[in-house]
């Protein structure tokens, strides 16, 4: 019985790690996508796109693998959420398609209208993808109508409740801030100077959204702080998250861009960790009857599958981390344009 | 139309469109290893120029493959939620393994393949190429394993879990090495190599006809022909082994492929024909006893026919028959073409044989069509089951999704994919017209 209890907890953590990895990594390239429309110069846009050129695709794999892990570890959640949020998921897919092809297509023809079209697609798709991911998260926290078979019984419009939208906009702001810091880190000269301005503005944008969303959470979804209230030691996490956020302008002010980037990554991890702690052990909260919720216990795969998957992860993840970090290391330094660039 | 039919059409459309690209990534990956190894061994800048040119084509097909591939992973959940709940314990693991072992490898090293030229030594760049190609092949392994489990399920049992009845793993290796996975994988991979080899042949033939980049075209042609001969002949062998597995585990599918109705009688092999499902007859030119001979090694032994299968368990017969026979016909034509090309190459007259070069220019469509028809045969031939003998397709669809929602997404997918296809062809054509770059003859690798 002890394995039955422990394995779903481990997988709750591992799926969480994959999603945090996704948010930190794809977060900056979604943010770069949202921001690149704010400069009109083709050279700046090219530099921004090429700064994420070698890595965006690998970053998206974190989402694909997170989805696969969710399917394998908690098939009921994968089924309920993906079918329940049908139109939102399809829109997310379209956004991801447009992002992928826009990067590939824009550089192939040097006509101004062609580039502008793909730039707008890329920017809009980046914002839409961030927003939808945030809205999905917001709904899972807020609660969704589920029947006894754990089927979603609401409509598309139910997903657009104010709380979920607030989480969505906060996510856009968070990724824009993260992307702005990345742009400063990876560029030099006048683009870097412009991006420093974006960092200041996006920090303000994010902090306002963060404040509103946190207030809404405390007032309207108090179950999210129950664990922290019961175990005061957990208060360390919101504290550290707050410090990480506060540290971003400090590091940028001193020109320590890499540390600023790490702080913003830590802030993302902290925020998602807070959601993880708040929800535990619920994966999809049912509204109005929380007894209908999908939890890590009723939604999990068999202990055998969870064990097999654990072995797969134990073999695969260290290798992935080793070569992914080597690749980031090889592409360190400022972005330069050459004949193979986008 | 109901949600089941619409979801099936949408899955068919999105997977069919997606599958234009992965075979090219898999096959070009393998071909790039050959080209770049030749460069590293010989130091001949021509091979470097070839590698750089085909890497550009690879980058384009890879981008389309990624963009349309993520749709597939999500669609099990969006449209086939009941299926996902039922098989997630078994099927989900294969998809997760694909992410960890294949997609990370492929996309990570793709960065070095595309943008690492001046950051790596030639050997390290070749290593990246090998890793990208390995990633593409690994991805084929896991997805074919997952699909083969739906064809010939093994290593599982049915259990009443917390929220309903579902399949759970009993033996992971039995799932991975289910009866059809190895033969189907080899057939899939060879089909992918064919697709890429004929693309190389098509582009090279075009340059030879236009008398442009001739040295480049001849060298590419040689590699393309070699891979095309190996892959097309190998497809015949693995196709035969696949059919034997179908005969043993999915008799209804085999009977549909050959339009064979009598419950238990020796069966012929049709060269072509037309199935009248209402009158349960197949008209066409058939080699008597040939199917019995291929399955049992004895022309007089009986083969199970569709009459032995309850009518509610039969796949649509004529579509499967036609798709299968077209695939086989195309496969034979590709073998003939590859061998003829190889012969003329050996004689040294291929570059002057303009009619054959013209055929080669358009033959790029052959393996693509054969791959699509092969998957159509495999998947439609499995109907009415989604997991053969275990779960019906009609029971597998999402309960929370209405027909109207699926229709909306289907229309949008159709429009977007049409646009993507037009853009892909436009950009591919542009790259081909542009040709290999003279700059690429100069070494830009980092020398260590």
Rounded to 5 degrees, what are φ and ψ at B121? -75, 160
Å between A312 CA and nearest CA of chain B: 7
Does residue B361 sit within a domain? yes
Q: Which residues of B touch A79 (CB under 8 A)?
A: 77, 81-82, 84-85, 88, 398
Q: Do B399 and A151 touch (CB under 8 A)?
A: yes
- H or E stretch at B424: helix B403-434
3-state SS, residue A321: helix
Helix B3-18 / helix B403-434 crossing angle, nearest 10 deg: 10
**For residues B204-212, average pLDDT:** 92
Task: Give the model confidence (pLDDT) of B37-62 as tens digits.
Answer: 999 999 888 998 999 999 999 999 99
B315 and B381 in contact (C-beta within 8 Å)?
yes
Q: Do B430 and A84 touch (CB under 8 A)?
A: no
B360 and B337 in contact (C-beta within 8 Å)?
yes
Q: Which residues of A touch B25 (CB under 8 A)?
A: none
Of chain B, the percentage scoring pLDDT greater than 90 comes to 69
Closest CA to A319 of B101, B402, B410: B101
Q: What pLDDT shows up at residue B447?
A: 45
* Cα–Cα dist B28/A331, whole Å: 25
Reply yes or no on whether the pLDDT at B65 is more than 50.
yes
Closest CA to B258 of B311, B317, B212: B317
CA dist list (Å): A24 to A31, A177, A272, A278: 11, 12, 10, 20
Q: Is B119 an interface residue toward A (CB < 8 Å)?
A: yes
Q: What pLDDT shows up at residue B442?
A: 63
Expressed as residue numbers, the domain containing B188 is 3-441
Closest CA to B62 of B141, B146, B129, B145: B129
CA dist list (Å): B388 to A221, B154, B207, B397: 45, 11, 47, 16
Q: Which residues of B touch A58 (CB under 8 A)?
A: 104, 107-108, 110-111
Q: Do B97 and A97 touch (CB under 8 A)?
A: no
Reply yes or no on whether the pLDDT at B99 is more than 80.
yes
* Cα–Cα dist A279/A299, whole Å: 14
Number of domains in chain B: 1
* Interface subset of B 191-220, CB within 8 angstroms of A: none
The structure tokens 């991890």 sit at: A269
Q: Which residues of B touch A139 (CB under 8 A)?
A: none
Cβ atoms within 10 Å of A223's Cβ, excluding its own: 14
Closest-CA residue in chain A for B142?
Answer: A68
CA dist list (Å): A259 to A192, A203, A244, A250, A329: 16, 15, 10, 10, 16
**Tokens representing B17?**
């469109």
Closest-CA residue in chain A for B421?
Answer: A101
**For residues B318-341, average pLDDT:** 95
Task: Give the model confidence (pLDDT) of B133-150 as tens digits.
Answer: 999 999 999 999 999 999
Sign of the four-CA dihedral A269, A320, B65, B113: positive
Q: Do A320 and B100 touch (CB under 8 A)?
A: yes
Q: Do B70 and A87 touch (CB under 8 A)?
A: no
- Report the Cα A93 to chain-centroid distance in Å: 15
Half-sphere exposure at residue B93, Cβ-oriented, CA atoms within 13 angstroms: 29
Q: Do B92 and A75 touch (CB under 8 A)?
A: yes
Q: What pLDDT shows up at residue B129?
A: 95
B303: left (phi over 0), alpha (psi -120 to 50) or beta: beta
CATH of domain A2-306: 1.20.1630
pLDDT tens per residue across all 342 residues of chain A: 444 458 999 999 999 999 999 999 999 999 999 999 999 888 899 899 989 988 888 888 899 889 999 999 999 999 999 999 999 999 999 999 999 889 888 888 888 888 899 999 999 999 999 999 999 999 999 999 988 888 888 888 888 999 999 999 999 999 999 999 999 999 988 999 999 999 999 999 999 999 999 999 999 998 898 898 899 999 999 999 999 999 999 998 898 999 999 999 999 999 999 999 999 899 999 988 888 899 999 999 999 999 999 999 999 989 989 998 888 888 888 888 877 777
Residue to mutate among B67, B82, B157, with most A CBs inside 10 A, is B67
B342 and B187 in contact (C-beta within 8 Å)?
no
Q: Do B119 and A317 touch (CB under 8 A)?
A: no
Count helices and strands in chain A by DSSP H and E runs? 12, 2
Reply yes or no on whether the pLDDT at B293 is more than 50.
yes
Å between A340 CA and nearest CA of chain B: 7
Q: What pLDDT shows up at residue B445?
A: 54
Number of inter-chain CB pairs under 8 A, A vs B: 232
Q: What pLDDT shows up at residue B443?
A: 54
Q: Which residues of B touch A308 (CB under 8 A)?
A: 93, 169, 172
**Tokens representing A18?**
């994959």
Of A83, A109, A316, the CB nearest to B81: A83
Reply yes or no on whether the pLDDT at B446 is more than 80.
no
Q: Which residues of A touch B138 (CB under 8 A)?
A: none
Half-sphere exposure at residue B82, Cβ-oriented, CA atoms within 13 angstroms: 17
Q: What pLDDT shows up at residue A4?
A: 45
Query: What is the DSSP pairing of strand B164-169 with strand B264-265?
Result: unpaired
* Cα–Cα dist B205/B210, whole Å: 9
Residue to mutate among B81, B91, B127, B433, with most A CBs inside 10 A, is B81
Does residue B185 sit within a domain? yes
A333: left (phi over 0), alpha (psi -120 to 50) or beta: left
Q: Which residues of B touch A324 (CB under 8 A)?
A: 104, 108
Reply yes or no on whether the pLDDT at B288 is more than 90.
no
Confidence of residue B161 (pLDDT cuts 50, 70, 90): confident
* Cα–Cα dist A294/A146, whole Å: 9
Closest-CA residue in chain A for B118?
Answer: A338
* Cα–Cα dist A260/A251, whole Å: 5
Cβ atoms within 10 Å of A2's Cβ, excluding its own: 6
Structural domain spans, chain A: 2-306
Does residue B89 sit within a domain? yes
- Helix spans in B152-272 (H): 172-176, 181-210, 214-249, 251-258
B308 and B280 in contact (C-beta within 8 Å)?
no
A22 and A175 in contact (C-beta within 8 Å)?
no
* Interface subset of B 55-114, CB within 8 angstroms of A: 59-60, 63-64, 66-68, 70-71, 73-74, 76-79, 81-82, 84-85, 87-93, 95-101, 103-105, 107-112, 114
Does residue B416 sit within a domain? yes
DSSP state of B301: S
Q: Do B78 and A90 touch (CB under 8 A)?
A: yes
Confidence of residue B441 (pLDDT cuts 50, 70, 90): low
Residue to mutate among A7, A52, A68, with most B CBs inside 10 A, is A68
Following CA atoms B175, B178, B183, B185 in sequence, which dihedral angle do they give, to the nearest 10 degrees? -10
Q: Is B169 an interface residue toward A (CB < 8 Å)?
A: yes
Q: What pLDDT shows up at residue B145?
A: 95
Does residue B447 sit within a domain? no
Beta strand ranges found along chain A (DSSP E): 282-284, 294-295
Q: Is B438 an interface residue toward A (CB < 8 Å)?
A: no
Buried b (16+ CB within 10 A) or exposed e, A298-329: bbbbbbbbbbbbeebbeebbeebeebbeebee
* Cα–Cα dist B201/B214, whole Å: 13
Q: What pLDDT shows up at residue B351?
A: 87
Does residue B448 sit within a domain? no
* Cα–Cα dist A284/A140, whole Å: 5
- H or E stretch at A34: helix A2-35
* Cα–Cα dist B376/B19, whole Å: 12
Reply yes or no on whether the pLDDT at B435 is more than 90.
no
**Tokens representing A340?**
């193979």
Rounded to 5 degrees, what are φ and ψ at B179? -55, -30
Does residue B121 sit within a domain? yes
Task: Give the model confidence (pLDDT) of B5-38 as tens digits.
Answer: 999 999 999 999 999 999 999 999 999 999 999 9
Q: Do A83 and B78 touch (CB under 8 A)?
A: yes
């Amino acid at each position: 019985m002890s394995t039955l209890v422990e394995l779903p907890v481990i997988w709750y953590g591992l799926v969480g790690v994959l999603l945090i990895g996704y948010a930190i990594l794809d977060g900056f390239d979604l943010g770069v996508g949202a921001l690149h429309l704010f400069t009109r110069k083709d050279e700046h846009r090219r530099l921004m796109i090429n700064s994420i050129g070698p890595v965006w695709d690998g970053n998206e794999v974190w989402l694909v693998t997170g989805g696969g892990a969710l399917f394998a570890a908690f098939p009921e959640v994968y089924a309920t959420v993906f079918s329940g949020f049908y139109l939102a998921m399809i829109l997310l897919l379209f956004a991801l398609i447009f992002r992928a092809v826009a990067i590939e297509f824009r550089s192939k023809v040097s006509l101004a209208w062609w580039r502008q079209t793909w730039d707008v697609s890329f920017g809009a798709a980046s914002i839409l993808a961030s927003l939808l991911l945030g809205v999905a998260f917001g709904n899972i926290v807020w609660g969704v109508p589920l029947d006894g078979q754990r089927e979603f019984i609401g409509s598309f419009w139910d997903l657009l409740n104010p709380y979920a939208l607030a989480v969505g906009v906060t996510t856009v702001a968070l990724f824009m801030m993260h992307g702005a810091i990345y742009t400063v880190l990876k560029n030099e000269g006048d683009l870097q100077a412009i991006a420093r301005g974006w960092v200041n503005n996006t920090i303000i944008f994010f902090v306002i959204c963060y404040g509103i969303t946190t207030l809404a959470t405390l007032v309207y979804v108090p179950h999210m702080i129950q664990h922290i209230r019961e175990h005061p030691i957990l208060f360390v996490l919101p504290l550290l998250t707050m410090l990480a956020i506060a540290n971003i302008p400090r590091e940028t002010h001193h020109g320590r861009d890499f540390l600023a980037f790490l702080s913003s990554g830590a802030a993302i991890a902290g925020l998602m960790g807070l959601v993880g702690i708040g929800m535990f052990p619920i994966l999809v909260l049912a509204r109005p009857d929380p007894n209908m919720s999908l939890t890590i216990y009723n939604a999990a795969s068999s202990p055998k599958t969870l064990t097999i998957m654990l072995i797969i992860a134990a073999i695969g993840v260290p290798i992935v981390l080793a070569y992914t970090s080597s690749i980031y290391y090889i592409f360190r330094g400022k972005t330069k344009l050459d004949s193979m660039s986008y | 139309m109901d949600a089941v039919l619409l979801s099936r059409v949408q899955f068919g459309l999105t997977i069919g469109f997606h599958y234009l690209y992965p075979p090219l990534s898999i096959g070009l990956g393998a071909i790039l290893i050959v080209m770049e190894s030749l460069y590293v061994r010989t130091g001949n800048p021509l091979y470097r120029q070839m590698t750089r040119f085909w890497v550009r084509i690879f980058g384009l097909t890879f981008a389309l493959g990624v963009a349309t591939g993520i749709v597939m992973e999500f669609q099990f959940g969006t449209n086939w939620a009941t299926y996902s709940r039922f098989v997630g314990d078994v099927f989900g693991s294969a998809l997760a393994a694909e992410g960890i072992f294949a997609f990370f490898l492929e996309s990570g090293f793709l960065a070095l393949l595309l943008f690492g030229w001046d950051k790596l030594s030639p050997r390290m760049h070749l290593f990246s190429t090998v890793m990208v190609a390995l990633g593409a092949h690994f991805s084929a392994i896991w997805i074919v394993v997952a699909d083969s489990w739906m064809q010939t399920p093994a290593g599982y049992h049915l259990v009443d879990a917390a929220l309903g009845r579902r399949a759970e793993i009993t033996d992971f290796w039995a799932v991975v090495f289910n009866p059809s996975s190895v033969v189907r994988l080899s057939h899939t991979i060879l089909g992918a190599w064919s697709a890429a080899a004929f693309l190389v042949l098509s582009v090279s033939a075009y340059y030879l006809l236009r008398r442009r980049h001739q040295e480049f075209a001849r060298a590419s042609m040689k590699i393309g022909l070699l891979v095309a001969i190996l892959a097309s002949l190998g497809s015949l062998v693995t196709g035969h082994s696949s059919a034997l597995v179908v005969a043993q585990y999915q008799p209804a599918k085999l009977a549909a492929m050959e339009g064979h109705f009598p419950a238990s009688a020796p069966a012929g092999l049709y060269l072509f024909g037309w199935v009248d499902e209402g009158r349960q007859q197949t008209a066409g030119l058939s080699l008597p006893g040939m199917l019995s001979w291929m399955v049992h090694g004895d022309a007089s032994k009986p083969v199970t026919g569709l009459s032995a299968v309850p009518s509610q368990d039969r796949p649509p017969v004529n579509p499967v028959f036609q798709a299968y026979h077209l695939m086989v016909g195309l496969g034979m034509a590709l073998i003939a073409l590859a061998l003829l090309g190889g012969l003329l190459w050996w004689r040294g007259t291929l570059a002057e044989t303009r009619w054959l070069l013209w055929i080669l220019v358009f033959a790029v469509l052959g393996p693509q069509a054969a791959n699509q028809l092969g998957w159509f045969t495999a998947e439609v031939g499995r109907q009415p089951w989604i997991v053969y003998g275990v779960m019906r397709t009609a029971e597998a669809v999402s309960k929370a999704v209405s027909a109207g929602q699926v229709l909306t997404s289907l229309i949008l997918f159709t429009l977007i994919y049409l646009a993507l296809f037009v853009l892909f062809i436009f950009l591919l054509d542009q790259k081909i017209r542009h040709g290999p770059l003279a700059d690429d003859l100069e070494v830009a690798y980092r020398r260590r």
